[in-house]
């Protein structure tokens, strides 16, 4: 095997994996001859794509986790142009590859893999880590056939009980509550994905599958699936309790562990405290070395890119929440399309606010709150009843989401009409002669969708898999 470049004590070899911003290289530790996997990340590409926080999140998460069924991180090396994450090398490849040629696995092997998956996920949750992208591609096998959970790039680190808001993951494995554009419990979402993986291991095919993304999400929300004839009653019972569309009714991990089918030949695997003195360069400092250079070149971008989940939720006709939850009709939301760049769209929001006699307050680069201009008296109420958020779909196309949480409906309608008129104007034109009726306004009742400022976008090569990160 021919080895090439050296990074520290590691000698790099062939590429064994590739993603949007990184390659995974096989390498050997020259001090002991052991193989490692090194994720090589292009630092400048990460900076320009607002991917920095996801990289830092993945490193911080992996440093927390020490479990025999989770891929271990050894160290992080930063250079002027690259970040190198040195990890445990798992030689057996992806579980997906094994499934592709084995089709259906033996029940005993499936049980062992599922037990190891549940042990690993339970350990993650005990550390406040929620994976959010569990699927066979992210489950590796070592030389003895033991399972290792990998790829924590979409993980979230939260206190137990805190709700997450980001819809992310892979369509066939995503829990229904992630499709509702509301808060969800990360632990329950991971449990759902484990159930879908269990079904696939036993059946040899996906539990939820459809060429239409809309139909796929309908099936997921309704838990519409059919078990093959060879499934036993105990298997069907356990899967039905895990793949429960109502998150609050879904089985918990302690209950899964107590299940009769699960308990057979079960040997628990426990996490451990690492004795290694894990050396990690200060990744923030490593990024800072090129941050100024990138900032000078970049054009302002919205971190809130549209993903597949949001596109479904944004359409009035395709709203899936009514499949198993009551609609909330208290808040009013309107979405307007803009054929202008992000900066000009923001200027038009500010102009429309002025036109509608609204005071505007910028919450972050892409989110605003507005309220009517008025003299303050003892009887007046001080609150922000309108908000607007800009979501970039493409360099010259945006979506503006306007929400009314309180106040008069007339003020809300006036601002929407004014903004639609400004958005209909050509670039650089602020005339108010355009007929607002020429612009389509899509309004629907929905909960306000809060987006945080530190969000990143990653589009996976797999069909339909698009991620939005903002937790």
Which architecture does CATH list for 308-454?
2-Layer Sandwich (3.30)
- Show me where the domains of the chain are located: 6-90+285-297, 95-272, 308-454
Q: What is the DSSP letter of 287?
A: H
Pairing of strands 82-88, 35-42: antiparallel
Name the token pair of 4.
């090439």
Name the token pair of 408.
């008069």
Catalytic (active site) residue 133: yes
Using CA atoms, how far apart are residues 122 and 162, in angstroms rounded to an integer?
Answer: 17
Q: Is 105 strand, coil or helix?
A: coil
Q: Is 301 labeled as ligand-binding?
A: no
Name the token pair of 58.
């993945």
pLDDT level of residue 376 (50, 70, 90 thresholds): very low
Between 21 and 343, the more confident residue is 343
| Buried residues in 24-39 as b, exposed as e (16+ CB within 10 A) | bbbbbbeeeeeebbbb
Mean pLDDT of 71-88: 89
| Domain at 95-272, CATH from 1.10.510.10, 3.60.15.10, 1.10.260.40, 3.10.129.10 | 1.10.510.10
Is pLDDT above 70 for 65?
yes
* pLDDT tens-digit series, residues 33-42: 999 999 998 8
| Cα angle: 345, vertex 348, 354; to 5 degrees | 150
> Which 3-state string (H, E, C) describes 28-39?
EECCCCCEEEEE
- As separate numbers, helices (DSSP H) first and strands (DSSP E) second, the chain gives 13, 19
The fold of the 6-90+285-297 domain, in CATH, is Phosphorylase Kinase; domain 1 (3.30.200)
Mean pLDDT of 196-215: 92
pLDDT at 263: 96
| Verdict on whether the full-model pTM lies above 0.75 | no
Q: Is 86 left (phi over 0), alpha (psi -120 to 50) or beta?
A: beta
Q: Are 390 and 346 in contact (CB under 8 A)?
A: yes
pLDDT at 83: 87
pLDDT at 206: 93
Is pLDDT above 70 for 410?
yes
Q: What is the DSSP letter of 71?
A: P
Using CA atoms, how far apart are residues 461 and 19, in angstroms rounded to an integer?
Answer: 8
pLDDT level of residue 166 (50, 70, 90 thresholds): low
Q: From the candidates 133, 151, 190, 471, which is the catalytic residue?
A: 133
Q: How many other C-beta atoms lie within 10 A of the C-beta of residue 275? A: 7
pLDDT level of residue 161 (50, 70, 90 thresholds): low
pLDDT level of residue 211 (50, 70, 90 thresholds): confident
pLDDT level of residue 10 (50, 70, 90 thresholds): very high
Using CA atoms, how far apart are residues 181 and 449, in angstroms rounded to an integer?
Answer: 7
* pLDDT tens-digit series, residues 258-313: 999 999 999 998 877 665 555 544 555 555 544 444 443 443 444 444 555 555 55
């Amino acid at each position: 095997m021919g080895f090439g470049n050296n990074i520290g004590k590691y000698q790099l070899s062939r590429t064994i994996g590739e993603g949007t911003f990184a390659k995974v290289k096989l390498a050997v530790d020259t001090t002991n001859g052991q193989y490692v996997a090194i994720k090589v990340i292009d630092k400048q590409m990460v900076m320009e794509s607002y991917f920095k926080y996801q990289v830092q999140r993945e490193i911080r998460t992996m440093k927390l986790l020490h479990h025999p069924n989770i891929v271990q991180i050894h160290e992080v090396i930063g250079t002027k142009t690259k970040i190198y994450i040195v990890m445990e090398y798992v030689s057996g490849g992806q579980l997906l590859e094994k499934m592709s040629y084995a089709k259906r696995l033996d029940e005993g092997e499936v049980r062992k893999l599922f037990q190891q998956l549940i042990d690993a996920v339970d350990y993650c949750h005990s550390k406040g880590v929620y994976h959010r992208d569990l699927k066979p591609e992210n489950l590796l096998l070592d030389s003895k056939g033991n399972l290792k959970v990998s790829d924590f790039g979409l993980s979230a680190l939260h206190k137990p009980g805190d709700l997450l808001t980001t819809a992310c993951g892979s369509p066939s494995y995503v829990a229904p509550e992630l499709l509702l554009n509301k808060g969800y419990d990360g632990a329950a979402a991971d449990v759902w994905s484990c159930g879908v993986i269990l079904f696939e291991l036993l059946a040899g095919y996906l539990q939820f599958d459809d060429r239409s993304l809309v139909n796929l999400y309908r099936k997921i929300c309704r838990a519409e699936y059919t078990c093959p004839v060879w499934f036993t009653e105990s298997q069907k019972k356990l899967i039905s309790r895990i793949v429960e569309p109502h998150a609050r009714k879904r089985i918990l991990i302690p209950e899964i562990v107590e299940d009769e089918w699960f308990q057979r030949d079960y040997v628990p695997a426990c996490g451990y405290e690492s004795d290694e003195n894990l050396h990690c360069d200060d990744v923030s400092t490593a990024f800072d070395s090129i941050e100024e250079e990138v900032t000078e070149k970049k054009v302002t971008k919205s971190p809130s890119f549209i993903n597949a989940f949001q596109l479904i939720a944004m359409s009035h006709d395709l709203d899936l929440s009514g499949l198993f939850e009551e609609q909330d009709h208290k808040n009013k939301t309107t979405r307007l399309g803009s054929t202008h760049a992000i900066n000009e769209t923001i200027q038009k929001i500010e102009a429309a606010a002025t036109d509608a006699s609204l005071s505007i307050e910028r919450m972050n680069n892409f989110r605003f709150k507005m309220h009517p201009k008025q003299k303050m008296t003892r009887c007046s109420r001080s609150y922000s009843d309108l908000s607007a958020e800009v979501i970039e779909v493409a360099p010259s196309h945006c979506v503006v989401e306007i929400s009314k949480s309180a106040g008069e409906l007339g003020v809300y309608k006036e601002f929407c009409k004014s903004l639609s008129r400004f958005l209909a104007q050509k670039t650089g034109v602020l005339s108010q002669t355009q007929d607002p009726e020429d612009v389509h306004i899509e309004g629907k009742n929905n909960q306000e969708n809060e987006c945080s400022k530190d969000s990143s976008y990653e589009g996976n090569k797999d069909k339909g898999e698009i991620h939005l990160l903002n937790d």
